Chains A and B, each alone.
Chain A
């Protein structure tokens, strides 16, 4: 699928499309329909509008539903006609403008995926009736520190109960943030505080 088509779909999702053929093309092309579904999902994620459960197989189900629809034997012929002739030069003109903007468009997509990931990982503390004393100093990890979102799990272990696993995931974020805070309030390490001559904790 070319990027021009993708841009059209994207514009259509954002209600900024002046090209009615997109709908027609969407109806005919499975891949495009899938694309349409994903763009809508990204949009929802960015607006913080995600359903509790995301059904990722949506596009297939929609296609199935469309298949079951009664076939209309006289599709809008007018659209098909213009698709072939009069609008063609105008589209070619548009093409040039859009090709300049393509890179930005792609970055935009990448950013929205990141946004979706962050939404998924946000710690939900609403179930907590316990009052936690606010620490003296609140900090955020400085850039270059561990970013919980981008972590790679090295090994996978057998599943525990999902409640414990969820709490553990939340705690990983807490530990990483806490480490960042501790780094900010550490003392200057000198030869005295480091005590290089002897190692009090070790028993080599």
Chain B
């Protein structure tokens, strides 16, 4: 499956359905001089694009300067399992090839990627029998509820790479930033005492909240498939906040007051897991 994603020239249109929102995308992928190039374009609303050339991802957004990041995973609407290392997937999930069906007018096979623990969501991927490309995918809760879906409506696999891909190969893209050096656990005065099995911190820093004027301690946790953010913000003496939990598709937002701090988690994990994670935080 992953070989196909990387080695073929193809173009597909798909729709991401999350909650009551549907977002159409177009995805071009190709190889130019053995270098992987892909373009993802949002078809609705203000134009949003991401372009990946080898290990450099460039984001093009309306009213913002384009920027590139080196050695990063593209933050795309596509399921992370498509690009994750199979060994990383197998560390926390079981793969089951289930049945045959017809998706997007093509013969498909359903692969269920099931979490061994019930503390995270499961992934169902329908792949094209011939090429192994994704035709449909779903994020499913333990209760079997579909939280988020992607449905491909059109897939074309071609011998030659698309004209757009060739143009990108020639284009001048912004110089890539590399990801900054991070802090270590020792720099923090707090610690998480429980994480779902297989999760570990992949990023730690202290920064100004985007669009806000608050400085936060930041920790990113991941098992290689799911990424979630934990924020720790000290509260002023007279400031009070209410615990708050919000859901949108598979994403959980949870914010709790703890020891005159506002502790917040954002990520695609079940609400119960988010709650257990935050409640395990202790100060040194």
Q: Is B21 a contact of A147 with CB atoms below 8 Å?
A: yes
Q: Is B242 a contact of A165 with CB atoms below 8 Å?
A: yes
Which residues of B are found within 8 Å of A128, using beta-carbon distances? 213
Which residues of A are found within 8 Å of B255, using beta-carbon distances? 168, 172, 175
The one of B75, B192, B222, B231 in contact with A178, judged by C-beta atoms closer than 8 angstroms, is B231
Q: Is B266 a contact of A158 with CB atoms below 8 Å?
A: no
- Measured CB to CB, the closest approach of chain B to A179, in angstroms, equals 4
Q: Is B218 a contact of A150 with CB atoms below 8 Å?
A: no
Would A174 and B211 be within 8 Å (CB), given that A142-B48, A152-B247 are in contact? yes
Q: CA–CA, A137 to B65, complex, Å?
A: 9
The one of B21, B72, B197 in contact with A150, judged by C-beta atoms closer than 8 angstroms, is B21
Would A146 and B179 be within 8 Å (CB), given that A152-B246, A179-B229, A181-B210 are in contact? no
Main secondary structure of the interface of A (DSSP, over half): loop
Contact indicator per residue, chain A 171-200, by CB within 8 Å of chain B (1) or not (0): 111111111111111111111011110011
Which residues of A are found within 8 Å of B177, using beta-carbon distances? 136-137, 185
The one of B195, B208, B209 in contact with A175, judged by C-beta atoms closer than 8 angstroms, is B209
Which residues of A are found within 8 Å of B241, using beta-carbon distances? 160, 164, 168
B185 close to chain A: CB less than 8 A: yes
Would A135 and B207 be within 8 Å (CB), given that A143-B23, A147-B21, A187-B179 are in contact? yes
| Chain A residues bordering chain B, tally (CB within 8 A) | 62
Q: Is B64 a contact of A186 with CB atoms below 8 Å?
A: no
The size class of the interface chain B forms with chain A is 35 or more
- Measured CB to CB, the closest approach of chain B to A124, in angstroms, equals 12
Task: Write the residues of chain A forming the contact surface with B, with a CB cutoff of 8 angstroms.
Answer: 123, 128, 130, 132-133, 135-140, 142-147, 150-155, 157-158, 160-161, 164-165, 168, 170-191, 193-196, 199-204
Task: Write the residues of chain B forming the contact surface with A, with a CB cutoff of 8 angstroms.
Answer: 16, 18-21, 23, 25, 42, 44-45, 48, 50, 55, 57, 59, 61-62, 64-65, 67, 69, 71-73, 75-77, 84-85, 87-88, 91, 148, 177, 179, 185, 191-195, 197-203, 207-214, 216, 218, 220, 222-224, 227, 229, 231, 239-249, 251, 253, 255, 262, 264, 266-267, 271
Which 4 pairs, one residue from A and one from B, show the smallest C-beta to C-beta distance? A144-B77, A174-B212, A143-B23, A179-B266
**19 sample A-B contacts, Cβ–Cβ < 8 Å, listed by A number:** A132-B213, A144-B148, A146-B251, A152-B246, A152-B247, A177-B210, A178-B209, A178-B210, A189-B73, A189-B202, A193-B202, A194-B88, A194-B222, A194-B224, A199-B198, A200-B185, A201-B191, A201-B200, A204-B194
